[in-house]
Structure formats: C-alpha cells, structure tokens
Amino acid sequence: MDKAWIAADAALIALATVTALHLLLPLFKKEKLFPGGAGFDDTPHFSEANRKRLNEHYSRLEGTLLFWKNRAVFYGRLHNWAVLWSIAAAFLVPIVLQWYDPDNTWSRLFMTCLP
C-alpha cells in the first residue's frame, strides 16, 4: 500500500506545483493592454491641442493600467485556483479517508498536502 500512497503523493505534489506555477505566471510575465483603436486622434469633438493633452495623459496612465491589469489577471487565477482545490479536496477527502492510515507516513503526507 506504500507504493500507492507514494504515487498519490507524487501526483498531488506535481499537480499542485503545476497549478501554482500557472497561478504565479502573471507576477513575472507582464500582460499587454488591448489596443485602443484610433482613440483620440480621429475624434471631431476635441481640438488639436486637447487631443495632444489626452494622448499625453494616456501615456502617463499606461503604466498604472498595466499594473492593475496584471493584478486582475493574478487575482482571477487565484480565485480559479482556490475554487479548483476546494472542490478537489471536498471530493477526495471522503474517498481517501477510507484508506487513510495514521501510522503510514505517506498517507499522512497526502492528507496534509491535500486540503
């Protein structure tokens, strides 16, 4: 039975590592903003001087927009990660508890890492 617990531990740790890497990827890889299209350049509602001001203002805000877009992607993935692991733990714990042996180190490791 130790081999089954070792295999289950390895699979759980590998899956947790892969999902954690997918979760942390937006912190290291910067997302790109969607192109805004023509924006202020073609609008008839502003004078040339105001169009220039709007473009300068947007260029100053672009860094802040990128920061918050990266945070939004990260927190969206964090939400999905938490839901995925909550459902997996809720599904697996009652099943795995039938074979749980408190004296077996590998089964204790699995139950510790799962929730």
- pLDDT of 37 reads 64
Question: Can you give the residue range of the structural domain that contains 72?
Answer: 2-113
Read off the tokens for 84: 């995925």
Per the CB < 8 A criterion, the answer to whether 26 and 70 are in contact is yes
Cα-based distances in Å from 58 to 16, 36, 45, 47, 53: 40, 11, 17, 16, 9
Q: Indicate the pTM of the whole model.
A: 0.73
- 41: pLDDT strictly greater than 80: no
CA dihedral defined by 72, 82, 87, 108, rounded to 10 degrees? 160
Counting the structural domains of the chain, the total is 1
- 11: pLDDT strictly greater than 70: yes
Query: Of 108, 111, 66, whose CA–CA distance to 93 is shortest?
Result: 111
- 67: pLDDT strictly greater than 70: yes
- pLDDT of 13 reads 93
- Tell how far CA 66 is from the center of its chain: 16
